[in-house]
Structure 1
Amino acid sequence: MAIQVRVRLDEDFCREVAEVYEHAPLFAPDPELAVGYEAFQQESRRQFESVVDSGIRVVPWRGAGQPYRDSADLRAQVRETGVLKLFLTSSGHGPGPSTAPHPLRRLSGVVADGVELTHNDVFRVVHDIHGHVLGGHGFGPRGEFLATRGHMSTFPEPAHTVLFTEQIGQICWFFYGPYGHLPAPRRPYAEQKVFAYERRFLDHFHSLFDHGEP
């Protein structure tokens, strides 16, 4: 019988993560974090190339709104068509263009359907395919926590701090931050920030998962 990873959603923890994200500076890099972002970018690109080599076509989304209604729609369309419609970072990730130099907003050199992708776009492809299509996880907090845990099993350890900030920090801010009381379609995305959470946050994150029979 297959073993299933389960997550215990600690909402007090989620609110604390969101509070830290809300008050963190836009740009607080250090040498260790720079190494983490470099490892994150390299592994994201490697996995992106693996996705494309598997036959998935990545097409930047040029329509209005989001390309998928929910995670089930994402999975169904990708499996039926072999195409992933990518919501570009430039189309609305965060409340607006930031003047802070974020490493994931830089161009990656990867081109999809005539559009050069940012490093953030490259990771979004990896996240959608591995986290939601193959992993079967939803867009809610539990699904995003499980998807991030899956990423941490394939990304090198120096990138885990970046994964936590870019995924769990932003997810918690979206669901438990200052706009969490609004319906999801009316909430803004978190502005991307460059900072590291204290190690205790990653340790607690890992403690939320266990294994059991489905």
Structure 2
Amino acid sequence: MESNRQVITVTALTRLARRKLETDFPTVFVEGEISNLVTPRSGHWYFTLKDESAQLRCAMFRNRNQFMRFKPRDGMAVIVRGRVTLYEGRGEFQLIAEFIEETGDGALRRAWERLRDRLQVEGLFDEHHKQSLPLVPGHVGVLTSPSGAAIRDVLAVFGRRFPAARISVLPVQVQGEFAEHQLVRALAWANRSATEQQFDVLLVTRGGGSL
């Protein structure tokens, strides 16, 4: 063992990191799109600010947002003025918003709407394509990352609502250049193996918000 090593607690490390962030980034202006907006009864606003490559947890407390002339919504493109900090209780890097400037509908939402409209024209949302779902699924195939937050949420919900259901995880990448190929291949395998595996439903899921 190293005799001169310095061991610190989790609390000490997160506190040092918070102080470093708050010192180096006292005020920043960050551009992105709002997602996962939550407005609890406390009056505070909690949301995710994201672009095509990254996301950042944000909070805007009531004493600040009460002076805003508009209420943000998911998909809105904004510039947020705030200060960077770290929430020690969860070790989460976040932005405390002091002012939000609206810049219009975001590129991610526009891209989503274009895709939705194209699929609508192709008829993929037509009723005759839809199949009825079993009231109580017995075997569910889940196409997702085996190490992501989404599978933990899926297992937790099924554990509460359908504890007898069998869950089979079909591991795939859900982002990046190989995600599309892996998803298509996994879906094809699941369809070919539907009788043998006795899947009642297939669930394709990932984390990261609604947009």
Scaled by the length of structure 2, what TM-score is found?
A: 0.23
- The structure with more strand, counted as a fraction of residues: 2
**Larger gyration radius, structure 1 or structure 2:** 2
Structure with greater helix percent: 1
